[in-house]
Structures are given as structure tokens and as C-alpha cells.
Amino acid sequence: AQKVTQAQTEISVVEKEDVTLDCVYETRDTTYYLFWYKQPPSGELVFLIRRNSFDEQNEISGRYSWNFQKSTSSFNFTITASQVVDSAVYFCALSGYNQGGKLIFGQGTELSVKP
Amino acid sequence: DSGVTQTPKHLITATGQRVTLRCSPRSGDLSVYWYQQSLDQGLQFLIHYYNGEERAKGNILERFSAQQFPDLHSELNLSSLELGDSALYFCASSVKDSRLPQETQYFGPGTRLLVL
């Protein structure tokens, strides 16, 4: 079975703090794909990043960085120098190689960045 | 803006009724996916269509059905509505058949359904 766990339900930080959102996944597929999506208060789901299981390089995009560790089945997301506009619910998702494109989402982490 | 459009944005209806949600994928995308987001179940995959054919089914109730038309837009039909069907329904699209390799899914703005 496939599963994504985001243990942090809510996180509150003050602007300019760094924050890490945790994501742990379970899958029996040897090839799989991991994603992060952002859901701002307006409700839409915005794609942030995709990572293939065979590519363990970490990635940085501006203030965002992602740490993929196959050994611990984790795909954590760090926001550096957080801003109020980062306030949103963040979802980690998993898709297996032969799962018909189905995304399995975690429960989401609600990030609140206060000025 | 992801390029995926969904109509209507909001829908209020009564129990027992039937509604149709519409989705237009991004230009060039052949795959359409439907997801339901509710407070108790979170984000759940419902169904995937590729170029008019059903590819995968998730936790979709028998009261729900979907189809993808030759112009690639898709409709999700919800019938005999119950209070528990109140949710945000998302459509997503990707370029091709996502059995392999997995293509990124881009989501529309969603249709918020309220069943009274």
C-alpha cells in the first residue's frame, strides 16, 4: 500500500524564520514520484516540485529547498526567510510507477507566517 | 494560472439532486484526473481519463460518473447527492498517459459543492 504522512498539522512561525515541513512516504514500488503542492487561502492547488525516485539530488529554488532521502523515505521541504505570502496548506504527494497516475496525498501542513 | 479551467466555481444544491462539474485541461494535455477534497477524507483520487478512455479508478462512489469527450474536456456527474458529498472537487491535467513515466499534474481552481 502507498501512504504519505505529514505529521505536522499546523506550524506557526514569525516572518523571516526558516521552517521545514516534513513528509514521510511508504511504497513498494521501486520507481515512484514525489510532489509538493501549495494550497493558499484562495483554494487552488499550485504545483511546486516533482522528484523521481532515481534522482536523489536535492533542489533549491529561491527560498525553497527540498531534501529527498530514500534511506529514510522522506522528502522534506524547507522555506528560508519565510514571508507572510508563504501562509498556505502544503501537501506532499506520491505516485507509484504503475498506479494509473493516481496521486496519494498527505493530510497537509498548514503554515501560518505572522508578520 | 495553471491553464486548467473548471466550471462552475461554486454550486449549491439540495440532497437528492444531480449536478455536473466541467473541466477543460491545459492545451495539449490528454489526461484528466478528478479529485475530491473534504475535511474528513482529505484529498482523494477519484478517476483518470486519457484521450477519452478511463485509465484508473479510485474511491469513486457508484453515484458518481465521469467521461472525457473528443475535445478532451471532462465532466464529473454526481447524482442522488448527500450532505457528505459537500466538498471541493478538483480537476487536474497532464500531457500524456501517466502510467509511465509520471507526468506532473496541474490542477484547476476547483468547484466548491455545497449540498443542503
Q: Which residues of B touch A52 (CB under 8 A)?
A: 101-102
C-alpha cell at A17: 524564520
Burial zone of B40 (CB within 10 Å; 0-12 exposed, 13-18 middle, 19+ buried): exposed
* pLDDT surpasses 60 at B97: no
Closest residue in chain B to residue A95, using alpha carbons only = B102
Average pLDDT over residues A1-11: 95
* pLDDT surpasses 70 at B100: no
Under the banding of pLDDT at 50, 70 and 90, the label for residue A93 is: very high
Show contacts of A14-17: CB within 8 Å, 24+ apart.
Answer: A14/A113, A14/A114, A14/A115, A15/A82, A15/A83, A15/A84, A15/A113, A15/A114, A15/A115, A16/A81, A16/A82, A16/A83, A17/A81, A17/A82, A17/A113
Q: Between B94, B98, B107, which is nearest A44 by CB?
A: B107
Residue A99 · residue B56 · CB < 8 Å: yes
**What value does the mean pLDDT of chain B take?**
93
Which amino acid appears at position A85 of this protein? Answer: V
Q: Cβ–Cβ contacts within 10 Å for residue B99, how many?
A: 17
Question: Quick one: pLDDT at residue A110?
Answer: 98
Answer yes or no: do A95 and B97 touch at CB < 8 A.
Answer: no
Give the best residue of B44, B99, B102, B103 to mutate against chain A (max A CB count within 10 A): B102
**What value does the mean pLDDT of chain A take?**
94
Average pLDDT over residues A36-58: 92
Report the percent of chain B where pLDDT is more than 70: 94
DSSP letter (8 states) at residue A43? -
Average pLDDT over residues B49-63: 92
Answer yes or no: do B56 and A104 touch at CB < 8 A.
Answer: no
pLDDT tens per residue, range B15-30: 999 999 999 999 989 9
Q: Between B31, B102, B110, which is nearest A95 by CB?
A: B102
Answer yes or no: do B100 and A44 touch at CB < 8 A.
Answer: no
- Residue B114 to residues A107, B9, B16, Cα–Cα distance (Å): 22, 11, 13
DSSP letter (8 states) at residue A115? -
Give the best residue of B35, B105, B113, B114 to mutate against chain A (max A CB count within 10 A): B105
